[in-house]
Amino acid sequence: MSSVPLGQDAIDVAGTNAGYHELAGADEIRAYYGHVMQRHFLPSGRVRYFPNCDYLGDGRFVSTLAQTSYSVQVRKKVVDTTYLEGAIPATSALPFEVADGVRCVPAGEIARLTDRPERFVVIGGGKTALDGCVWLLERGVPASTIQWIRPREAWWANRQFHQTRSMLPDFYRGIAIRVEAMAQATSVRDLYARLEAEGVFLRIDPEVEPTMYRGAVVSEAELALMRQIEDVVRLGHVQRIERNEIVLERGRVPTTAGTVRVHCAAVGLAKPARRPIFEPGRVTVQPFMLGYACYQFAMLGVLEATVESDEEKNRVCPPIGYWDATADYLSAFLAALANDRARAAYPALVSWAKATRLNPLSGIELFGDDPSVMDSRERIKRFGTAAASNLVTLLGRP
């Protein structure tokens, strides 16, 4: 919510997030949403809340705890936030077979282990696996007892360039670096090399070229921790886990009875077919710019409230698919540039975007005299048009 901040705007002073804005934990996030519901939504008289219910469609939903059903008349639209619902290890079926007697737990369960395993095998190449490895290492688990099965290598966004408030100059500089690199790159590979050289993008192993980018953010301190893990398996996805070996797409590795396998291989970013966000009677929430879900999805609400035609709303905010391959970052960035231009024609949208706390660039005008911000602004103006043109060229190459 734009009107209710999460956290205390504090800077962490210890751990792998030291020097950056605080990261909210699970308990804090749950408390935040409880506060929003109980202190803001329900007292407004405009919200009715039906927890523990399944929606059946056509305005009907049923309780999962009691034999109670409900029916409502949808006067305007149903807002569907489930269309892009991803899978998480805790609730999704394992994507590989596990033999009887094999100990395999979803990522979140490692925090509740009561024994001391001989070894850990972390399965997955995405952010969940990364967080699992960092969590173990921060708690003193020796890197030598961790095996990491990474089917693919990823590019990671450097947290330094994703800080707001007092650190906005670095955020803005990161945008300028991207735009200039996009204007000058000769290939997709060259673009990532330029951004890596500037520290905007990071990779764990400098000897292995990543094939995916999903927008996940890490700190350089986390990267240093992960590089301590030397037992990295790159033989594709796990097919099945036997008592004595793990069978992968391109080979096998031994395992032991005293090992805990940590399942981090769920498909977190769903990629169904894109559909119009705005339709008669329905809003299907989907991304239309890179990252910053709170900001862009709140913008959909502003658009719904201020623009009459569904056709025009869809022209201003056409959906994009979640990114996966390295080239997806380029197409998503290009779409974001085009969408920004389309939204500029609507004063209500422009005014809201400038004022809302959810906009990551909110407050940049306070740094107007900062030499770094002045330089970044000039670079964005100088290379913006060329970047958009070159992205089209790069995406058209094999």
| pLDDT at position 267 | 85
Instruction: Tell me the three state secondary structure of residue 202.
Output: strand
Does residue 398 surpass a pLDDT of 80?
no
Total-model pTM: 0.92
Amino acid code (one letter) for 128: T
Interval 71-107: pLDDT, tens: 999 999 999 999 998 888 998 889 999 999 999 999 9
User: Token pair of 151, please?
Assistant: 């089917």
User: Token pair of 129, please?
Assistant: 């696996």
Q: Could you give the percent of the chain with pLDDT greater than 90?
A: 87
CA 193, 194, 195, 196: dihedral to nearest 10 degrees? 50
CA-CA distance, 72 to 250, in Å (whole number)?
53
Q: How confident is residue 313, by pLDDT bands cut at 50, 70 and 90? A: very high
Does residue 381 surpass a pLDDT of 90?
yes
Q: Which H or E element spans position 134?
A: helix 127-138
Interval 5-54: pLDDT, tens: 999 889 999 999 999 999 998 899 999 999 999 999 999 999 999 999 99
